[in-house]
Amino acid sequence: MTYKENLIEAMKIMLKTKDVRFIGYNLKFGSKCYGTLKDTPENKIIEMPVAEALMSGLSIGMSLLGFTPVLIFERHDFILLALDQLVNHLDKIKEYSHNEFYPKVIIRAIVGGTIPFDPGIQHKANYTEALKKLLKLKIINLQSKDEILPSYINAINSDSSILLTEYRNLYDT
């Protein structure tokens, strides 16, 4: 199986959890997250405008209501626009609610590809190492197709938030 086929399988496994919702833009139309959500029922997808802070806030709120949001950043670069919600809210709610709330958001952040063309420096950055310094949540760098299924199974079975960095250039490998 290729990197992308492993991602498709991981998304199908996550769909078995009744309260999973995929949140992002370009998910119902266009690329459907580069084809990894192609078999996902529309009622499991929340299509958002290009508003990363809003997407993150909605995901956090939904997690507090018992949903398991899978927040998707089609380009790793765009996660920068959601840092307030991730750093000051998702990462600290447990602490400042005195352990009353345990939000769980699964974050897919995709490092933009350079194949078949290079989109430029604003669409192919990787902030994984910087995010590890900013966030307390678990961050996994999916550099191999063999890491995908165990990592997403762990994410869906965990009771805490996790960020998984994917690599668009690896999808066909």
Domain count, the chain: 1
Burial class (CB in 10 A: 0-12, 13-18, 19+), 95: exposed
pLDDT of residue 95: 93
Assign residue 79 the CATH number of its domain: 3.40.50.970
Q: What is the tens place of the pLDDT at every residue in 80-94?
A: 999 999 999 999 999
For the whole model, what pTM was predicted?
0.96
pLDDT tens digit sequence for 53-74: 999 999 999 999 999 999 999 9
The whole-number pLDDT of residue 130 equals 97
- CA 81-85-86 angle, to 5 degrees, is 90
pLDDT, residue 120, reads 86
Kindly tell me if the per-residue pLDDT of 157 is higher than 90: yes
Q: Where are the alpha helices (DSSP H) in 16-70?
A: 52-64
* Model confidence at 29: pLDDT above 90: no
Supply the range of the domain harboring residue 31: 3-170
Please state, in angstroms and rounded to a whole number, the distance separating the CA atoms of residues 72 and 139.
14
Give the model confidence (pLDDT) of 109-134 as tens digits. Answer: 999 999 888 888 889 999 999 999 99
The order of strands in the sheet holding 138-141 is 45-47, 20-24, 68-73, 106-111, 162-167, 138-141
**How far is 136 from 154, CA to CA, in rounded Å?**
17
Q: What is the pLDDT of residue 165?
A: 98
- What pLDDT sits at residue 153? 97
Contact 2, 141 (CB under 8 A): no
